[in-house]
Structure 1
Amino acid sequence: MRDPQVVVFGGSGFIGSHLVALLAQESIPTLVPTRHAARVRHLTTLPGVDVVEADIYDDASLRQLLQGRTAAINLVGILHGSRAQPYGPEFRRAHVELPRRIVAACHAAGVPRYLHMSALGANVDGPSMYSRSKADGELAARSHPEVAATIFRPSVVFGPGDQFLTMFAKLQRRLPVVPLAGASAAFQPVYVGDVATAFLHALRDPHAAHQVYQLGGPTIYTLAELVRLSGRYAGCERHIIELPMALAQLQARMFELLPGEPILTRDNLDSMKVDNVLDPAIGDLTAASLGIKLTALEAVAPHYLAHSEPLDRLRTRAGR
C-alpha cells in the first residue's frame, strides 16, 4: 500500500483545521483547496501542507487536484439553506452534488479511497432538509464502487473553535436569561480531536474501506444541560427558559430574517425532533473499532470556554 497523500476538501474549517494539523504531525503530504488562500494562513505554516486556490465545484479542477493522490477527504458541509422539498439548492450543492463530483474525479484520476463526512441521523426520510441531504450525500459517496468510500456519522462536534458550546457561552455573556428551543433534545457530543483521529486511523486502515462509523462521545446530554455547562465553564451561567414548540418556531423564523448566519432555523428545529445519539441497532461501527479512547467533554470544554472572552475581544478589535 502506498504512503497516503491526501486532498482535504473543507480543510480550512473547524474540523478540517484540526485534521490537517494532525496529518501534518503524522508527516502525511496534504493538499487543501480553498477559495481564498489568504484566509487560511494558519495552515500554510504546517509541514507538508500545501494550500491552493481552486474551484472545487469545477470537474476539471477536481481531477487536477486529485492527480497522484491516494485519498480524498471531504468535510464540506452547511447547516442552513433555503426551504424546499426534499431540501434546498444550497444543501443539494454542498451535501450531494459536491461528493458526487469528488468521487467521479477520484475515479477518473485513479484515487482509490474517499473519506466522507456525513452526520448522525442522516436519513432519506428524516425530518429535516439537513438529514435528508446528508443521506443523499452518502449515496453520492458510494456512486463509484471502484472508489472505496468510508463514511463518518458524528454527533455534534465540540472543541476549540467550535460554533456550538462557544456560541452558547457567548450568548450567556450577553443575555440575562437564555430562551431555549429544543431544550430536551438529546446529543452525544464528540471531541474534534477524536473525530480527526478517526479519519487518520481509517485512512491508514484498509479494512475501513466501504465501512460506516458512528462517532459520539462518552456521554449523552440534553441541549439544556449543554447550555448550562457552557455557561458554567465560561463563568456566566444563566437561567434557561425552555420554549414550547410554537414559540420556538417563531424564534427560528425571526432568526432567519436577520442578516448573516442565523443562530437557529426551522430546519434546525426539525433536526432536533430525532435524538442525535448513537443507535446500536443500526449496526454501524464506532470509534472503539478504530482504537480511539473517547475524550470527555468535561476534560476539554472548561479550558477553551474559560478563555474565549479575551480571544473574542481581540478578534473584534482586529475586525474579525
Structure 2
Amino acid sequence: MTRRALVLGGSGFVGSYVCEHLQRQGWHITVPTRQYATGKHLLSVPSLQLTEASVFEPGVLASLLPGHHAVINLIAILHGNQKSFERVHIEWPRQLAAACGQAGVRRLVHVSALGADASGPSMYQRSKAAGEAVLREAAAAGAIDLTLFRPSVIFGREDNFMNLFARLQKIFPVVPLAGASARLQPVWVRDVARAIVRALDNDTAIGETYEACGPEVYSLGELVRLAGCWAGVRGGTGRPVIELPMGVGRLQALMMELVSSQPLMSRDNLDSLKVANVASGHLPGLDALGVTTAPLAGVAPLYLGHTGVAGRLNEMRRRAGR
C-alpha cells in the first residue's frame, strides 16, 4: 500500500528535512504552500507533490486531506500579538483536528514547543500549550491518533539561529544581548525530522509527547559566542557578548518591533527566555524513538566555519589529498 502524508508547513526549515526523511522511508508526500515559488526547493524530492494552496482558506484543508494516511503539522509563528498567536497555535489545531476527524485521517503528528505551558511567561508558550490541549481533547474523543513533539531551539544549515548570530558578529564589534544567561538545549534539525518520521511508523508513539532536545545545555550567551568562533569571526575568537539588563533589552525589543513584523528579538521572545528551555526529564526524549542526538559542536562548525574551525580542517584535508 502506498502511504501518503500531508505535511503542513513542509516548505519551511524543519518541513524540508521531514519531507526528505519521509521520502527515504517510502512515503508519498503532499506539501501545500501559499506561493509555489517558496516550495520549489522541494521539487527534487521524489514522490512529493507541491500544491499551491492556502490551508487557512475555508474548504482548502478538507479538499487536501482525502487519500492521506497521516498529517504532520509544522505551522507556527514566533512573533505576533495575542490574536495572531491564538489564530495559528489554537484555532488552527482545532480546525485541523475537526477536518481530520471528518475526513477519517486519524494519524496526526503535531510539533509544539519545549516551553509550552499554560502558565508560561510568554504568549507564545501559553498559546502552544492551549493548542496541545485542543488536540488532546480531540484525541480523547477518538477523532485522531496524536503524537506531540516539543523541540528546544532547532539548529541546522539553513537555520535562523546560529547563522543569525554569526552574521551579526560579522557586522558589529560587540553583541549586546538580553537574556544571555537563559539556558537552552539545541537540537539538530535532522534528528527532529528523523524522530517525527519514526513516530509515524511506531504505534507506541500514539498518545506520547516527546521532548526533542540535543545532548548538551548552553546559555544563550555561550551560543552567540560559539557562533562567532565557528564562523571564524575575529580569527575564530568571536565578538564579546555584553549582557543587557532585561529592562534595557525589552526597550531594545520594542524598538525592533516598531520597525519590523519579524524582529530579531521581540518582547514576547524575551519573556520566553525567563524559563529554561531544557528537557524536564519527565517525558521521553528522542532516544525513545531510537534517535541518538548529535552535539551542536559536531554539526554547527561544518556550516558556519568558512574561515573558522571547519575551514581550517577542510584546508588540512585539501593539503593531505595533494
So what's the TM-score if we normalise by structure 1?
0.91
Distance 2:12 2:27 in 1: 19
2:153, 2:184 within 8 Å by CA — same for their partners in 1?
yes
Q: Which residue of 2 aligns with 1:223?
A: 220
- CA distance 1:3–1:207, shift in 2 (3 Å): farther
Q: Which residue of 2 aligns with 1:202?
A: 199
Distance 1:276 1:112 in 2: 31
The residue type paired with residue 18 of structure 2 is L
SS at match of 1:173: helix
Q: Which residue of 2 aligns with 1:242?
A: 243
For the pair 1:157 / 2:150, whether they are aligned, the reply is no
Deviations 1:20-53 (A, max 9, x none): 1111222210000110012211112210100101
Q: Which residue of 1 aligns with 2:15?
A: 16
The residue type paired with residue 266 of structure 1 is R
SS at match of 1:96: helix
Q: Which residue of 2 aligns with 1:92?
A: 86
Name the larger-Rg structure.
Answer: 2
- Where does 1:72-111 land on structure 2 (aligned, <5 Å)? 72-82=71-81, 88-111=82-105
Q: Which residue of 2 aligns with 1:285?
A: 284
SS at match of 1:142: helix
Q: Which residue of 1 aligns with 2:5?
A: 6
Deviates more, 1:35-44 or 1:129-138: 35-44
**Identity score, percent:** 47
Question: Cα distance, 1:171 vs. partner?
Answer: 0.4
1:59, 1:101 within 8 Å by CA — same for their partners in 2?
no
Aligned-residue CA RMSD (Å): 1.4
1:100, 1:143 within 8 Å by CA — same for their partners in 2?
no
Question: Cα distance, 1:267 vs. partner?
Answer: 0.5
Deviations 1:227-263 (A, max 9, x none): 0110000011101111011211111111111134100
Q: Which residue of 2 aligns with 1:52?
A: 51
Question: Cα distance, 1:127 vs. partner?
Answer: 0.3
Distance 1:142 1:289 in 2: 21
- Where does 1:131-142 land on structure 2 (aligned, <5 Å)? 131-142=125-136
Deviates more, 1:140-149 or 1:105-114: 140-149
Distance 2:72 2:136 in 1: 14
Deviations 1:50-103 (A, max 9, x none): 010112113421111110111110001111102xxxxx1111111111111111
The residue type paired with residue 6 of structure 2 is V
2:232, 2:306 within 8 Å by CA — same for their partners in 1?
no
Question: Cα distance, 1:194 vs. partner?
Answer: 0.4
- CA distance 1:151–1:18, shift in 2 (3 Å): same
Distance 2:120 2:14 in 1: 24
2:185, 2:214 within 8 Å by CA — same for their partners in 1?
yes
2:182, 2:220 within 8 Å by CA — same for their partners in 1?
yes
- CA distance 1:51–1:143, shift in 2 (3 Å): farther
1:57, 1:101 within 8 Å by CA — same for their partners in 2?
no
Distance 1:6 1:58 in 2: 20
Distance 1:217 1:242 in 2: 25
- CA distance 1:224–1:22, shift in 2 (3 Å): same
Q: Which residue of 2 aligns with 1:296?
A: 295
The residue type paired with residue 193 of structure 2 is A
Q: Which residue of 2 aligns with 1:32?
A: 31
Deviations 1:202-238 (A, max 9, x none): 0100111111001110000000110011000001110
Q: Which residue of 1 aligns with 2:70?
A: 71
